Structures are given as C-alpha cells and as structure tokens.
Chain A
Amino acid sequence: MGRLKGVARRLGLARIGRPQSGGDGAVRLVGRRIYILPTRFGLAFALLLLVMLIGSINYSNSMGFVLTFLSGGVAIVSILHTYQNLCGLSLLPGRSQEAFADRPVAFALILRNEETTGRTGIVVQGDGAKPVRIDPAGGASTEVNLSFTGGDRGLFSPGVLTLSTGFPLGLFRAWSRVDVERRCVVYPAPAPRKRALPRTSSGSEHGLGAGGRGVDDFTGLRPYQPGDSPRHIHWKAVAREQTLLTKVFGGEHQEVLHLDWNALPGLNREQRLSQLCRWVLDANEEGLDFGLRLPDREIAPARGEEHRYQCLTALALFGR
C-alpha cells in the first residue's frame, strides 16, 4: 500500500477528498504565453473600414474620414482590452470528482483571478470537452468543470487546455494554451448489478459470530468511523443530539470478502475488471471488509474510503 501511494504521488494523481496539496504548480498567463489574432468578424470589419475610407476619399468627405478613423481606433484599442482580459489569470487543477469509464469525466479546474478587475467571457476548452464560458470576478477563484467524453479506464490526461476570450467587441481573439499537468484516474465502468457479492462460507449472515451471539445481535456502541455503513448508525443517539455512534454487532468476526480475479472464469479482462469494480463498490456500500486479488498484486482486506480508493485505482491501472 505504501508503494502504491508512492507511485500515485509520483504520477501526480488527483485524489478524491484530498485537499489541494499545491504540489502541482498553477499556470499563470503572462504576455509570452498569450497570442492574439483578429477573428473572422475582425477581418470583415477591416474590410468595411477600407470601403468607408475609399468612400470618404472619393467624396472628399471630412466627417467620413472622422468616422472611419474613430471606428478603426476603437478596433485597435480593443486589442489592448482583449489582451488585458486574459492576462494575469492563473489556471490550477482542481478537486476532480470520481470518474468512471462509462460516464463523462468531469475534470475540475480553478481559474484564479488575482487582479482587482473582473474578467468577462473567458472560454475554457479542452480536446473532447464542451467549451465552458465563465466570468471570473476580481480577486476570486472560480471553479470550472470540463466534461470530457469518450474516456477509457486508466490515467486520463485532459491534454492541453485553451483559454480564450473575444472581449470586448469580438474583433480579436486572445488565447493561451495551458498544460495543467494533472491527470486523474478513471475507474473501469462498473458492471450492472447482476452478480451477487462472493460471500465466503465463514461468517454468513445467519450464522453465529465468534462472540457466541448472532451477527444481528447488538453488542455495543463505538464512535463513528468514516466508512461505517449508515445502516449501523445509532440514529436515536443522533436524534438526542449526541454524536454519531455506530452500533457494533455481535461477533468481532466481520464478514470478509475476497474479490478474486480468478473467480470470474469465462469473462475477458475488461469484463472481469468491470465486475470486480462493481463488487468493490457494493462491498464498500455495505460496510464490509473486502480484499482484492489481481494477477499482479493483492490488496489485503480492509475497510474505508482509502481502501476503496486503492482498490479502484488498482483496477483502473491494471495492465497500464
């Protein structure tokens, strides 16, 4: 497990529920990184100005010149505003949600505006994701969620993201390409709930526990630990405004599930991973101890969010 953690950290993987460690640097948009070019409309506007200029020359119309030059001046000045709209923003990777292969990957980013002026109409785009348009307020961080479709299990990289804006007049477009250098793990798509969990013979639901009493028998309370099944929470205590307490049932011997790769004959690799993933999710939901056995590694039975994460990550990265 320690080795897995080390690997995860080295790869810079996003972790569920973990606060931003700040290890991955935020990318700040500065002059060198920002490109600016006229849009199609901008080119059409230039053509219009040319026509207006020729008309003014032809009719020797002074006010025609004034209007042409003022319009041109406004267009030129808008370049400065477009550039300024993008400059000084920072893009950091955010806290992404869990991602499974059958659903779009919601990649979270934080757009930080350190300057006092609010920005308008910043578009964040990624390859394979729908563009998102935001207006970051001054001095604030805005969360952006890019929805990437068509992902496969394993390490997902959003690729190079593009921040662009056409503010204020849509005549010019400034953009900057950012590589956030953050990847997230996409778990295999869980199989539909057809197979039951592979419960072992030891410690069946209706058998006797080691304490001599049934598994259903209430033996006591202990403080709530994250990961305990909600079914075992002593809700009356909560109603009496005491802290969360979990009921402990007879038998220290909790049921232990062994989720085994080899226990799925007849399925190909991806199907097995899918099924194992479903089992991990179900087992975790029921608050049971479970262990994972894969051809290349084995994860000892345990409980809790950290364990779940480990198992799912192992499944996701199997063979990659």
Chain B
Amino acid sequence: MKKRRPADFVGPQTVAWVVAGLALVVLPHLPRLPAWMAILVLMIWAWRLALVIKPVALPSKWVLALLALGASAGVVASYGTLLGRDAGVALLNLMLALKLLELRDLRDAYSAVLLGFFVAITHFLYSQSIPMAIYILFVLLALTVVLMALENPPAGKGALAELRPRWALAARLLAQATPLALVLFVLFPRVPGPLWSLPVDAYQGLTGLDDQMSPGRISQLSRSDAVAFRVQFDGEPPGAELRYWRGPVFWYTDGATWSRGLRARTGRRSDKVPDYRGLGEAVNYTVTLEPHNRRWLFALDLPVAIPEGAELTGDFQLLASAKIRQRIRYTLSSHPRYRMDRLGSGEGHRGLQLPRRVSPRVESLVVDWKGSALKPETIVAKALAYFREEPFVYTLSPPLLEADPVDEFLFETRRGFCEHYSAAFTLLMRVAGIPARVVTGYQGGELNPLGDYLIVRQSDAHAWSEVWLKDRGWVRVDPTAAVAPERVERGIDTTVLGEGRPVRFQLASGGWLSPLLKGWSQSCDAVDNLWNQWVLSYGPKRQMQLLTRFGFEKMDWWGLGVLLSAGMTLTLLIVAGLVLGKGARERDAAKAAYERFCQKLGTKGLGRDPTEGPLDYSGRICAKRPDLAASVRCITAMYITLRYGRGEARSALGAKAELGRLSRLVRAFRP
C-alpha cells in the first residue's frame, strides 16, 4: 500500500468545508429517500461533523464495509432492486455519506467531490424547474470553492476566514465558463436518446390517465396540481363548455372497472374511422404535452387534422406511435361541434356490453324510464334528472364501494366523483338499450393571459359519457354537469380538499388577495413555459430549427462538429484574452513611459542597468545629477505606484489619470 505523505493529509478546517459543500449537494435528495435512509444519512453526516470538531480516529475499513453492505441490503429491501433511478440515487447518497467517513487524505477528498458532482446531476432526474436549476448552480459554486480549498487549504482562524475571496474567484470562473457552456449547449450534437434501454422505474414519476378506470383512480389524479399540457390557440379559444380533451375511451366493463376492450389492447385498429361532419369553424391549436408514459395525445373533441406520426382510433382517440416520455409539441385542429351519421362497425355491439350481473334495482329504474317514453333523448334526460333531483354529492373522496359499485353508488352512498357518475350513467344507458361508452380525458383549463395559452392540469382530469343517438351520432353527455354544473365552468380548487367533503371549485374572483396570488402563479407559469420551450425542450429538432434559421441547412455530424470546434475555439480565445490580458495593458503603458524616461537619461550616459531596480536607479541619478533629483524622484514614485501598487482601491479612472500624468511628466523631462 502506498505510504501516505504527510502533506497529503487534509486538515480539519478543509474537511469541514468539504463536508459542508457536499451537504448542500445531498440536501434536496433527503425528502425523496425513505425515512430510515434519510435518518441514517443525517446521522452519518452528524458523526463526521462531530469528528471534525473533536478529532477521534475515523472508523476502520471493516466498520465501513459492514455499513456499506448493510446499506445496500436496505436499499434492495426498500426498492426491490439496486438499479433504477430511485434505488440508484439512494445508493449514491449512502456511498457519499460513507465516503465522508473515510475522508483522510487528499485522494479521498477528491473522490468524494467527484461523487458529489455526480449526485448533483441526479437532481435533474426529478425536477428541471427554474428554482432547482438555480440551486444546482449554487451547488456548483460550492463544489468549486471546495476544490479550491483542497488545492490551497485555508489557514486562517475559523472556518469562514477565507471564504469570501474563494467564493469571488469561483463566481469569476463560472462567469468566464458561461460563454463556453452556452456554445456547447447550442452546438453540441444532440444525439437522440436513450442510448440504451433505461431501467423500468425511470418514468415512475410520470403521472397521467390510466388505460383503465375504476372508482377512485381519477379522483386520485385530480389531487395533483401538476401541469398535464398547455395549449396555444390560433385565435379565440373555445368556451369552457366545449373544452373537452379526449383521452382513453372505455368500452368494456366488469361492473367495477372500465377498460378499452380486447381490440384496443391488441393494438389493432380494425374499424375505419367513421365519417363525421364538422359543424361551424374548426379550431387550430398547438399542444405542449408533458410526459406521462402512455401513448395518449390529447385533442379537443373532435380532431380533424392530426399531427404526423399519430393515429386516430375508431373512437376518435389520438394515439402516438410510442409512449410519451418527453415533453412534445404537436399542432392540430378540431371541430368542437360535429355530427355523425353512422355507427362504426361493431360499435353498436360493444356499446351495449353489460357486466355479468346487473343489479335488479338498476334494471327496475331503467324499466321505469323506458316505460314512459321510447325516445332515447328522453331517457337521457330522465337519467340526468335522476342525478339532479336525488341527493347526489360530488366529492373527491367518496366512501369505498364494495360488491356492486354502480348499485351502491346510485341507491345508497350517492357520493362520488366524475368516474362514478360517468360509469353509472353509461351503465344505465346500456341497460336501456342505448349504445354508450365512457370517455376519459381532461375538461377545462385555465387561461393564462400573460402567455396567451391554456393550462390544463391533472386536477382537470375528467370522465364523461357518450351515447349514440340516431340522428346525431355519438353525443357527449356529462353527468357531472347535472350534479355540479360549476365543474364545467371552473377547475377544482385543490387547496381545499377534505375527506368526504364536497368539492370546492376555483373562485372566479374574491377580494384582492386571490387575484394577486393568481396573477403571481400565472406569471410563474408563463416563465416556466418559456423555460420549458426554450431550454428544456432543446433537442435534436430544435437544434436543427435554430441552425436553419441561421443559415446552416442540413447539417450532418461532421459539419456540426466543425461548427462546434470553431465556436469553442473562438470563445476560448476571447475568454483567454480577457483573463490573461487583464491589467497587462495598463502595466505596459506605465512600463513604456518609464522606458522612455530611462532612454532619455541613457542619451546622457545615465542609462539604467537592466537589472537595476527603479529605486536604486533613482538614487544613483539623484546622487550624480542633483539638479534632476526632484523630477526623477517624482517620476519614479509614480511609476512604482502604477506598476506595483497593490491593495489600494484604485479605480480605473484614477489609474488612467495617473498614467496620463506620468506620460506628460516623462515627455517634459529633459536631462
């Protein structure tokens, strides 16, 4: 084993800095770890800090190895694997903590810092928001300061003694590095990832609509304020009652859960898209969709011109060719009002599918309706009236339904969310012989005047029904509207969600505070949107667009590489000029003036010996030529101040003025 040189040992003050810097890196990860791991990590950090304050021997290699093994076992126990985003990050955090306990000499410190950099980048797997970006920038500064401390250990009293100059230098380094980073960011060839298949849980954080609906699923989704997608309209956005964004359509039910049916699962689209006639004008819009790890593309009912690569199913659902794992943008247009003439093949049959057992109460209810009228429209109206007149409550957390959810919901609990209402309504229609289907998706959206776009959040997730009426085709019926009509107009107020309590809708306006808060949140979202569009979405396509705009068409890898190298070299030269040339000009001017002074004296045989210092020279001249003493001393003093003056706050203006004076004096000097 290589003997450790004493100079390589890291002093306690430096260790404190390393520990503090790495603590900043780890901090945002702590809430994401399971409780036991977070506590363990905190304990290890505290232990290391205690060792700094009171230096006792660090734990031996065996203790650390044991801890490492135990921790890995714990990670496997918590996550089931050592691979994957969450498990990997947890393991990294534990390794970093243990590395700190091992910190003795410079090599350990350097590897800890390297690990710290790696942990820092893992934060972006969870969030790329602007606050996180700012925090990680700060962390980068901190790690730079730590590296400086390792190279040049602080020797002052107290841990904070020499923090400021190092911090200033770190900030300077970062500022000088920014142009380089910018050139790299814009011009570095964007290889479309992923390079190899990612572990399964890489997209675990992505939420969205499921390919199944059961009571409680959508209400769970509705608790989140996260943005589902943003829409920019070409012209006036349609009214709230038309803002139905179509997601998965469910045909098959087993009484509790609704799914898309066998056909959809095999991925075969056997029905042709039935014709429909759009009434009125089409709406053109662009959707920026957040990743949700499924193939749904959300479109306004009903899409007419669909984006490239997407397909339209028989039930007018828009699907992408692959699961959406990155934010994407697509442009399309829809007809909010439409009419269909014919049922698609098989739709009539599928639209009447009933679960194996329908409760007698449901049947008798429908029979009552059927009895009085035969027109389907009337039956629909009767069902809606039932919801309206009976004491139904719209709540995000209804009581659990056991055996026959629909039956219990309709006759006993009468408390539910949109999925209950739509499921119950659809079943009722099917029992009555009217083809019906459940449509899930999003309803509504908040208009952000600042960016002129619509924000649709997970809390806008919704389920409704469609019934087939002979002269009109598939018609949308939203049973929720019967119970809570405000839901269509306004989104859900996620800040007030009580157990079993009715849903509160967002207020249109109230007092002065809420518009202020609303304005603030809209500004934030507008900035966030810009951030998403221009920084986070910068990928291969955007890069091509940007380059084309600047006249570089059809760049292949080679061309891009050349452009990148050229950009880097140019930027580096500029930065080098700034860094290395700093102050040189000023010094050179003073030196040049002094050289002229010496030359003048040289013509009289009083030249300066190249190794003679200015003070010595001045002394020698004054001794030989007392008549010149005053001016020689003055010039020499000014030269020394300009060239060697340090520490005094000399403003640039002062230095320039001094330089001017020196030049004038030298010019006037006559030996």
Q: How far is the CB of A285 from chain B (nearest CB, A)?
A: 36
Whether B195 pairs with A44 at a CB distance below 8 angstroms is no
A-B contact count (CB 8 A): 164
The reply to whether B583 and A117 form a contact with Cβ atoms under 8 Å apart is yes
Is A55 a contact of B191 with CB atoms below 8 Å? no
Task: Give A292 Cβ to nearest chain B Cβ, in Å.
Answer: 35
Closest to B536 in A: A62
Kindly supply a per-residue 1/0 record for chain B positions 123-146, scoring 1 wherever the CB is within 8 Å of any chain A CB and 0 otherwise: 011001000110011001000100
Question: Does residue A235 face the partner (Cβ distance < 8 Å to B)?
Answer: no
A67 close to B (CB within 8 Å): yes
Please tell me if B265 contacts chain A, counting CB pairs below 8 Å.
no
Decide if B140 touches A70 in the complex (CB within 8 Å): yes
* B170 CB, min distance to chain A CBs, angstroms: 8
Known: A78-B173, A80-B580, A117-B583. A55 touches B121 (CB 8 A): yes
Range of interface residues on A (Cβ < 8 Å):
35 or more
How close is B39's CB to chain A, nearest CB, in angstroms?
28
Q: Which of A178-209 contact B (CB under 8 A)?
A: none
| Contact A67–B114 (Cβ < 8 Å) | no
Residues of A within 8 A of B609 (CB): 22
List the A side residues contacting B644 at CB < 8 Å. Answer: 114, 116, 138-139
Contact residues, B589-628 vs A (CB, 8 A):
609, 611-612
Partner of A73, one of B151, B180, B538, B539: B180
Residues of A within 8 A of B177 (CB): 70, 72-74, 76-77
A238 located at the interface, meaning its Cβ lies under 8 Å from any Cβ of chain B in the complex: no
A84 touches B579 (CB 8 A): yes
The segment from B181-189, B235-243, B416-424 found at the interface with A is B181-189
Q: How far is the CA of A115 from the CA of B585 in the complex (A)?
A: 12
Whole-angstrom distance between the Cβ of A115 and the nearest chain B Cβ: 7
Contacts A81-B579, A84-B580; is A54 near B128 (CB within 8 Å)?
Answer: no
B51 adjacent to chain A (CB < 8 Å): no
Interface of A is mostly: helix
A116→B587 contact, CB < 8 A: yes
Asked whether A69 is an interface residue with its Cβ less than 8 Å from the other chain, the reply is: yes
| A60 in complex: contacting residue of B118, B174, B193, B196, CB < 8 Å | B193
Interface flag for B343 (CB, 8 Å): no
Inter-chain CA distance A74–B152, complex, in Å, is 17
Decide: B118 and A70 in contact? CB cutoff 8 A. no
Using a CB-CB cutoff of 8 Å, which residues 121-168 of chain A contact chain B? 121, 131, 137-139, 166-168
Cβ B587 vs Cβ A63 within 8 A: no
Q: Is the CB of A48 within 8 A of B193?
A: no
Considering the chains assembled together, what is the distance between the CA atoms of A74 and B177 in angstroms? 5
Is B194's beta carbon under 8 Å from chain A?
Answer: yes
Partner of A51, one of B118, B120, B643: B118
A71 touches B140 (CB 8 A): yes
Q: How far apart are the CA atoms of A74 and B178 in the complex, in Å?
A: 8
Residues of chain B with a CB closer than 8 A to A117's CB: 583
Nearest to A165 among chain B residues (CB) is B151
In the complex, B385 has a CB within 8 A of chain A: no
**Are B180 and A59 closer than 8 Å at their CB atoms?**
no
Interface residues of A in 91-132 (CB under 8 A from B): 114-118, 120-121, 131
Question: C-beta contact mask, B525-567 vs A, less than 8 Å → 1, else 0?
Answer: 0000000000111110000000000000000000000000000
Residue of B nearest to A83 (CB): B580
B173: A residues at CB distance < 8 A: 74, 77-78, 81, 168-169
**A65 proximal to B (CB < 8 A):** yes
> Of all chain B residues, which has the CB nearest A66?
B185
Chain B positions within 8 Å of A68 at CB level: 121
CA distance A52 to B123 in the complex (A): 12
B150 within 8 A of A: yes
User: Quick one: closest A residue to B129, CB to CB?
Assistant: A63
Known: A22-B611, A116-B587, A139-B645. A80 touches B133 (CB 8 A): no
- How far is it, in angstroms, between the C-alpha of A51 and the C-alpha of B180 when the chains are bound? 19
| A120 and B152 contacting across the interface, CB-CB below 8 Å | yes
* B121 interface neighbour in A44, A67, A74, Cβ under 8 Å: A67
Q: Indicate whether A72 sits within 8 Å of B181 (C-beta atoms), given known contacts A52-B117, A168-B169, A169-B151.
A: yes
Query: Are A76's CB and B572's CB within 8 A?
Result: yes
Q: Which of A26, A76, A84, A139 has the most CB of B within 10 A?
A: A76
Bound together, the chains give a CA A77 to CA B178 distance in angstroms of: 10
Closest to B612 in A: A22
Interface size of B as a range: 35 or more
* A-contact 0/1 string along B93-136, CB 8 Å cutoff: 00000000000000000110010011011001100100011001
Q: Answer yes or no: A227 CB below 8 A from chain B CBs.
A: no
| Of listed A22, A59, A167, residue having the most chain B CB within 10 A | A59
**Contact status B125-A45, CB under 8 Å:** no
A78 vs B143: C-alpha distance when bound (angstroms): 14
**Residues of A contacting B196 with CB < 8 Å?**
58
> At the interface, yes or no: A12 with Cβ under 8 Å from chain B?
no
A211 close to B (CB within 8 Å): no
Min distance, Cβ B363 to any Cβ of chain A, angstroms: 53
Complex: A116 Cα to B188 Cα, angstroms: 39
User: Which of chain B's residues has its CB closest to A65's CB?
Assistant: B185
Determine which residue in B121, B192, B193, B643 has the highest number of CB atoms from chain A within 10 A of its CB, and name it. B121
Candidate in B136, B198, B537 with the most chain A CB atoms within 10 angstroms: B136
Chain A residues near B147: list those with CB within 8 A.
Answer: 168-171
Shortest distance from the beta carbon of B117 to any chain A beta carbon, whole Å: 6
Contact partner of B151 among A59, A139, A168, CB < 8 A?
A168
- Distance in Å from the Cβ of A43 to the closest Cβ of chain B? 11
Contact B148 A44 (CB under 8 A): no
Residues of chain B contacted by A51 (CB below 8 angstroms): 118
Question: How distant is A239 from chain B, measured CB to nearest CB, in Å?
Answer: 36
B646 an interface residue at 8 Å Cβ cutoff? yes
Cβ distance A318 to chain B, nearest Cβ, rounded Å: 34
The interface residues of chain A lying within 8 Å CB-to-CB of B643 are 114, 116, 139
A60-B194, A60-B326 given; A48·B118 CB < 8 A: yes
Q: Complex: how many Å from CA A114 to CA B196?
A: 55
Distance, CA A57 to CA B190, complexed state (A)? 8
Give the chain A neighbours of B580 by CB distance below 8 A.
Answer: 80, 83-84, 87
Name the B residues within 8 Å of A58 (CB-CB). Answer: 193-196, 198
Instruction: Check if A17 is an interface residue, CB within 8 A of chain B.
Output: no
Is residue B576 within 8 Å, beta carbon to beta carbon, of the partner chain? yes
15 contacts between A and B (CB under 8 A): A41-B110, A52-B121, A57-B190, A60-B192, A63-B133, A71-B117, A73-B177, A74-B140, A74-B174, A80-B576, A80-B579, A83-B580, A167-B152, A168-B148, A170-B151
**Given known contacts A65-B184, A84-B579, A121-B151, what 19 new A-B pairs fall within 8 Å (CB)?**
A22-B609, A44-B111, A51-B118, A59-B193, A59-B202, A60-B194, A62-B538, A62-B539, A63-B535, A67-B121, A69-B185, A71-B117, A73-B179, A74-B177, A77-B176, A87-B580, A138-B644, A168-B151, A169-B151
